[in-house]
Structure 1
């Protein structure tokens, strides 16, 4: 199943066409862009520990490893973005027939969750970084996630890790479509962003920043009921842009039963969605689902090799992230096929992407050796609905009980507070503590 989806998402012909359309200064001589992406996908799926190892084991690499790294280090960020966008567009028609029984998050809207993701510090292998004792950050990305399909549909790669996330948002806003509902945190709460989303015909639920856009109240704050985490209030407000235009909004206040980790007791949300389509309590519940993108980031990091710390060059690290995002989409469709085929068996349980990826890693290499390339050719001609049916037929042979998620109980919230360095650096022998030695 993974092989068929990789074939659909990363067709070599499509990749070469994508490269020719969106490349800026790069060109193809002996190393194809499809080969570069194929090798990086082996790293993302955990089938090879590094790009060097993937290249070393390849029979198709016609250039030196130095030439491979040189091309990877010069892959333009816009090309990475087009790779994520295009692969999601190729997989969306496959996953949609597998999600027909899913309850929509907000009737009549396509939900989009926006958030930023900073890549962690890389190893300091680049000459200018040697001797630097601090962290070297290779870049960041703005990610647009479609939670109902569990697909990342856009990713804007930024080489400057210190750039403000909002400064990267322009190209993302250009792709906003009417009928979408955007969820975002307070970092994206500005007058310009709210007006841009509204002018595109999209709805939004964005947490209000303490300073911007500072809405003007035009009605009284009224209590409207409760949700699971607190009491909900609603108020009519408006904002004004630089040209004097006014945008009427609803401010939804959630007075929390328990404060957040930052100590906030009230969360204020701004939305332009009409009350008859999204009530105040539904708005508050939907914003809680914004954390679905944090779960996606967590799975991207723990299940796939999205953070290749040996790739210190920003463009190489961003390409690795983009290919990992594409691989995440492949596993999401695969997981949807298993859940759709075993709907009764999976009722009340969640399929774990971690165990799904583990199954792929365990058998993928042997399968590629055992089956010749010709075995996959007939599937290339399948339409998206036909491929969905093929995936369900294959998923019938999967035992979903072996893939079930085992969620742990929520941790008890404790504030550790400050302690002196000598206290934080103390250590104990666990075996002695278990034998009864007291912690002092």
Structure 2
């Protein structure tokens, strides 16, 4: 994943960053970046060094994972099939149109991206409404309510908290899970959010079947 090592460092420090991970993965997918480059670039050829690899390398520098390009190159050397000289040449010859399109690409995808992640014990919530009536699904009973996610004691983003009371506990023995999502209700009701997320919680019943 693009910027995977950088994200892991921040994810471990704040539950708010965990909620953003899916959106960032969507925005910076390698295939989308390479397709962007192929579509816009006129003079620079991909050859062995992919545009997505260059973005990941520079991301490590910008986010402080590496002090400079050479340091980032050394960290990623096993995944960069090109010399350091080739990397510098690639950076120097990236056209302004490509950079501009990259900015537009990130802005457009951030606008369209949503997340749905499981709530963990370290995530503090401030209820902003009552639980809705429960709805039956094929895995259990589902309800939801709006909540504020608290960071440093302060409510920051308002999201949906979808609660699932499972017919069969998860592999860890949890009989109930909560999913935090920012998907608009008119695009996915609570039961749909639960179904979309269900593949991430292996139940004891499924693991023994």
Q: TM-score, normalization: structure 1?
A: 0.24
Q: TM-score, normalization: structure 2?
A: 0.47
Rg larger in 1 or in 2? 1
